[in-house]
Structure 1
Amino acid sequence: MDAAVIEPSEKIEEIEIRLLLEALYVRYHYDFRNYAMASVKRRLRQAREQMGFSTISALQERVLHDEAMLPRLLGYLTVQVSEMFRDPGYFRAIREKVVPHLKTYPSLKIWIAGCSGGEELYSLAILFREEGLEDRTIFYATDINQDALRIAEAGVYDLDRIQHFTENHRMSGGKSSLSDYYTADYGRVSFDKTLRERVVFSDHSLVTDAVFGEMHLISCRNVMIYFDRPLQDRAVGLFRDSLTRKGFLGIGAKESLRFCSHADSFKEFVREEKIYQSTAK
C-alpha cells in the first residue's frame, strides 16, 4: 500500500510495532527488528487480540514491566510449526546423497538452527542412528525461544501427530519402524531419551549471536523466510563461517541462496531439496 494512503491508525500501529521491537531488543536482547515486517505485524496483531490488549502500546507496557509476559509474546513472534521428517524428500536426500560423504569423517557436528519443538532434531537423530552415524555425532539444537527448547528437550508430542510422522519417516527412506523410537501413554508419545544423549540444547540467535563451532551439516529450514534480506545475508554468512570445508547446508523449500551476498561460497548439491555444499575455505 502506498504510504500516502495509509490510514492514520495504521501509521500509528506501525510506529507502535517499531517501538515494541526496539524495546524488546533493549530490555531483553531479543532482536526482531529485521524480521519481515508483514509477518511481524500479523503475529503482533494476533498476540494483541488473544492476550487481551487494546493497542500494541499497551502490550509493550506490560511486557516491559512484567518479565513473565515475555515467553508468551515470544510464542507469537517465533514460528513453532514443524513435523518430523517434514518434506520427506529432503531427508531422503540427506540419507542417500549427504550421508555417504559424512561417513568419511571420524567425528561429526550437526547444527539444527531454529530447532523449534525438536521435530527436526529427532528426525535427524533417528536418521543418523539408522545410518550408523549416531555414535560419532554431536547434535547442536538451537532456538531463541526457551519454551521451544524445553519442549524439544522433553521429546513429548501428541499421539494424533504420530501417524503423519510415521508416513513421513517411511517416505524419507526410513530403515525401521518409527514406533521403535517412542513409547505411547495417555494420548502422548515420548521419544527415547537415548536419542538426545548426544544433543546439546542451547539458546542461540541468528540475529545477534556468533559462530560457535565447525559443523559438517547445518539444517536451518523455514526460518530465514521470516527475515528481511540483510538479516538473511547475516544468517547465511554465519552458516558459511560455521561450516567445515565442503560442509553442507540445508534450507527450506521456499528459501534460496540465489540473491544472497554469500551465494558464491556455496554450490548446489541437491538442487530440488535446497541442499548446498560450502566452497569456502
Structure 2
Amino acid sequence: MVLIEYSELETLIGRIHEISGFDFSGYARPSLLRRASRYLTQHTMNVKDLLLHIEPGGGIVYDLIQELTVNYSEMFRDPDFFMKVKTDVFSYLESYPALRFWVAGCASGEEAFSMAILLKEAGYLERSIIYATDLNNKVLTAAREGVFTLGNTRTFSENYLLAAGKNSLSDYYHVAYNMAVISPEIRKKIVFSLHDLTGDGVFNEFQFISCRNVMIYFTLELRQNVFRLLYDSLSMLGFLCLGKRETLRYSGIEQNFKIIDSTLNIYQKIQ
C-alpha cells in the first residue's frame, strides 16, 4: 500500500479543486487518506506522479474523484429502517395526491430500488417519483441499468424478508446472462441524476428525503451546510432519514424537527 502524508493529501485536494472545481476540503481526512492510498497502489504511482498527470480537461482527475467518493450500498440495507418507514411514515403520506422522494448519495441505486418496491407494496408507487442522486457518474450509469450479480441477490433477498416484504424479491427482477435486472415497472419511477450535496443547491421540494450513511464522511462544518440544503428541500411535515451512526445533533436545525425514531434517526420537519 502506498502511504500518503496528510500534507500530500492537502496538496492533492487543492489540485483537484483547482482543476475540476470539486471540493473535498470538507471531507473527513482518514477516509480520504485510505481511498487515495488505495488509488495510488492500484495505479502504481506516488502522489508526485499523480500530481504531474492531473491536468485541465484530462480524464485522470475525474477518475480520481470517482475513486475517492463512497459507493457501497445494498438493497434493504438495515431492514428495521424500512419496516419503520412502512409502519410509521407511510401513514402520514397517504393523503398526498403526488409524492416526491429523494435518495441522496444513492450509489448504484440499491436504496432507490428498495424504496420503489416498498412503495409498490404499499400501493403508493403510481403517484410517486423517486429522485436518486450521486456525485459519482460511474455508479449512476450502473444504477440506471439496474443490473446486479446473482450473488448479491441472496443478501438482498434476506434483507427484504427481514423488512417484512410481502412477496419474493425475485418478483421485482428477472435473470438474464446470469445477472439480475430490476423490472421496468420499478425502474421507470426513479430518476437518476448527478448532484453534489456539498456544492449544488435545492432542485425540488420533497415529502421524504433519505440521506443515509453519507454525513459520516463529512466534517462538522460541511455537515451543517448539507443539513441546511436538506432542510430547504423538505416540505413542511416531510421526513428526513439519516444512517444509524448519524444524527441531527449539532446540525443547527435540530429544533425544526420532531424525532420519529431516535435509533434509526428518522425525523419530521415541523417548522
Residue in 1 that maps onto 2:261 = 270
Q: TM-score, normalised by structure 1?
A: 0.92
Distance, in Å, in 1 between the alignment partners of 2:41 and 2:229 is 36
What are the within-5 Å matches in structure 2 for residues 63-142 of structure 1? 63-64=54-55, 67-142=58-133
**Percent identical across equivalent pairs?**
39
Residue in 2 that maps onto 1:179 = 170
CA contact (8 A) 2:20 2:56 kept: no
Residues 257 and 185 of structure 1, relative CA distance in 2, 3 Å threshold: same
Aligned mate of 1:160, from 135, 146, 151: 151
Q: Which runs of 5+ in 2 are unaligned?
A: none
User: Mean Cα displacement is larger for which, 229-238 or 263-272?
Assistant: 263-272
Residue in 1 that maps onto 2:242 = 251
**TM superposition outliers: structure 1 runs of 4+ over 6 Å:** none
Aligned mate of 2:201, from 194, 210, 220: 210
Counterpart AA for 1:45: S
Q: Which runs of 5+ in 1 are unaligned?
A: 1-9
CA contact (8 A) 1:23 1:64 kept: no
Residue in 1 that maps onto 2:191 = 200
Counterpart AA for 2:33: K
Counterpart AA for 2:32: V
Structure 1 residues 172-217: Cα deviation after superposition (integer angstroms, max 9, x where no partner):
1211110011111333111112212122211111111111111000
Q: Are positions 1:48 and 2:40 aligned together?
A: yes
Residue in 1 that maps onto 2:9 = 17
- Aligned CA-pair RMSD: 1.5
Structure 1 residues 142-166: Cα deviation after superposition (integer angstroms, max 9, x where no partner):
0000001101111001110111100
Distance, in Å, in 1 between the alignment partners of 2:230 and 2:236 is 12
CA contact (8 A) 1:71 1:147 kept: no
CA contact (8 A) 2:133 2:194 kept: yes
The structure that is helix-richer by fraction is 1
SS at match of 2:87: helix
Distance, in Å, in 1 between the alignment partners of 2:61 and 2:15 is 12
Aligned mate of 2:29, from 34, 37, 44: 37
Distance, in Å, in 1 between the alignment partners of 2:54 and 2:166 is 47
CA contact (8 A) 1:217 1:247 kept: yes
How many correspondences in the alignment?
269
Counterpart AA for 1:130: E
Counterpart AA for 1:275: I
Distance, in Å, in 2 between the alignment partners of 1:214 and 1:263 is 19
Residue in 2 that maps onto 1:57 = 48
